[in-house]
Amino acid sequence: MYKVLITHEVSEEVKERLRSCAQIQEVSGREAILAAAKDADAIHGNGGLLVDEELLGAAPKLKMVALASVGYNNLDTEAMRSHGVLGAHTPGVLNDSVADLAIALMIAAARRVCELDRYMREGLWNGSEGKAFFGLEVSGKTLGILGMGRIGQAIARRAVAGMGMKVLYHNRRANPEAEEKYGAVYVSKEELMERSDFVVIVTPLTEETRGMVGEAEISRMKPTGILVNVARGPVVDEAALTKALAERRIYAAALDVFEEEPTPADNPLLRLDNVVHVPHIGTATQEVRDKMAMLAAENIIACLQGGTPPTIVPEHRR
């Protein structure tokens, strides 16, 4: 019988689904995973699971690694291919969850929700603040989206239908569907940074996108510009962003992701009052996490039963 390792918390329903074709073993921690991988046929993990030569070498029977994550930058897809191991991820089921958070972060940063929440908690509200509480309007403004995939389109739909925003986007290629449905306009990255009131990053982390928003890009933003990152931390040069925020060269940032996660307590971004920070919660609802875990399970079952897994990573598609 096949053996599947589960390296993160999943529901009983997911476990039962996997038991329909395999024995399961729940493990956590790198050393335990390496030890258990010696006779594993598949691994059910999350986006934090590192699949490299070390793990592949310890798992001679391995056929698939299925992540309950849309991002798969921790998969060494070339090494996996050389070992005959398929990779799968879970696009689609999390689009709305991440899009909802992106919109929430935009509004929170523009209207200074977290900063003013702290102000009230500290007992400072005295009724004479006047313009001290002013923030920025969101409705009718220009939204720039870096990465017009499924999540980017879900954000555009909310921004246009709900807030009457104009949408610019930059992508590897033009997206006619987004242009037709949401009036999105394809522009260069430089033009997007210059014209947008809000820049939302939803691009995957690849060698091409690592550091794609750095000092040069941030310097093009409006003084009233707000940067929102719900993609991956290393897409943004964190030091350059911190400097621009501290010097008030841009208005604010709202971040769900960081270069190092968990981010250290002494990260200077955490001391800035013009930053909204949340701890990588883009998909952090029970409903979405359950859907992601089940889709990862279905990828494994299809693979072990000789079928075609529904959401293989692009690099492993034939």
What DSSP character marks residue 40?
-
The residue type of 57 is G
Residue labelled with tokens 């034939």: 318
232 is catalytic: yes
Annotation marks residue 137 as catalytic:
no
Cβ count within 10 A of residue 219: 13
CB 304 within 8 A of CB 42: yes
Which of 232, 238, 289, 298 does the annotation list as catalytic? 232
How far apart CA 281 and CA 78 sit, in angstroms, is 29
Among 137, 208, 261, 315, the active-site one is: 261
Pairing of strands 185-186, 198-201: unpaired
Q: Which of 112, 280, 289, 298 is catalytic?
A: 280
Residue 280 is a catalytic residue: yes
For 156, which DSSP code?
A: H
Nearest CA among 57, 67, 98, 43 for reference residue 232: 98
Residues identified as active-site? 232, 261, 280
